[in-house]
Amino acid sequence: MNAVHHINVSGTERSNLIQAAFRLELITIAWMVIEATVAIGSAVAASSLALLAFGIDSIIEIASAGVLLWRLNIELRRGQTFAENAERSAARVGGGLLFALALYVIMGAGWKFWTEQGAEFSLLGLIVSFLAIPIMYFLSRRKLWLAEALNSRALRADAVESITCGWLSLVVVVALLAQLVIGAWWVDPVVSLAIVWFLMREGREAWAGEECCGHHH
């Protein structure tokens, strides 16, 4: 038996919970499309590495949510065990993408330190990253509850990604406000390196999903 305590649910209840998870993932995708579009657009306009990393992370989360929808759909049609095998390989791809993004950010920050190149303040970037904080908090709470009810590692990992995205949003808000107040060239590359820590943690969680989430922390 799995060590994780979960709520016992009947087949019908399980289907209803999976439908609720579907709706949550669709809301996640809708918000992430807005977040990615605004963040990447603002990043290019303001030459901000922190905003660009935030935007690309949103695209990876869209892919992750898409994989989860696919996985829940498989479970509805072919059962839980088959779905978990499909999920494991998909989680590895997500983890790999996050590591690649972390490497890109490190190289970008290194270039910015080398050339002493800063970023402009972005009001649109500030608005979207500020709105992401409460939205991600709400989504992660609901996902954690459903993950417990469904005993789903995939949904729990996705909830952790939403939590990470919330913290990432906070870091970007702080970076943009610091940019506005201090206006120093080094704010953007320094904050970008802080973001790398989140990306590495998120990537490790996705890559080692089956080891990390089957035990109690």
User: Tens of pLDDT along 146-155?
Assistant: 989 988 777 8
Please state the pTM of the whole predicted model: 0.80
Q: Which residue has the higher pLDDT, 133 or 90?
A: 133
The answer to whether residue 5 is domain-embedded is no
In a domain, 167, yes or no: yes
pLDDT tens digits for 187-208? 888 888 888 888 888 888 777 7
Does residue 1 belong to any structural domain of this protein? no
- Note the pLDDT of residue 6: 44
pLDDT at residue 101 in the model: 84
Answer whether residue 156 is part of any domain: yes
pLDDT at 214: 42
Nearest Cα neighbor of 58 from 142, 166, 197 is: 166
DSSP assignment, residue 188?
H
Q: What is the domain-level CATH number for residue 32? A: 1.20.1510
Mean pLDDT score across all residues of the chain: 82
Residue 3 within any structural domain of the chain: no
Name the residue with higher pLDDT: 12 or 46.
46
Mean pLDDT of 176-186: 86
H helix intervals, the chain: 11-46, 49-78, 80-115, 123-150, 153-181, 187-207, 209-212
Give the DSSP letter of residue 23: H
Q: How high is the pLDDT of residue 81?
A: 67
pLDDT tens, 17-30? Answer: 888 999 999 999 99
1 in Cβ contact with 213 (< 8 Å): no
The domain of 174 spans 11-210
* Residue 123: inside a domain: yes
Q: Region 80-104: what's the mean pLDDT?
A: 76
Q: How many domains does the chain have?
A: 1
Could you give the percent of the chain with pLDDT greater than 70? 86
Q: pLDDT confidence of 130, banded at 50, 70, 90?
A: very high
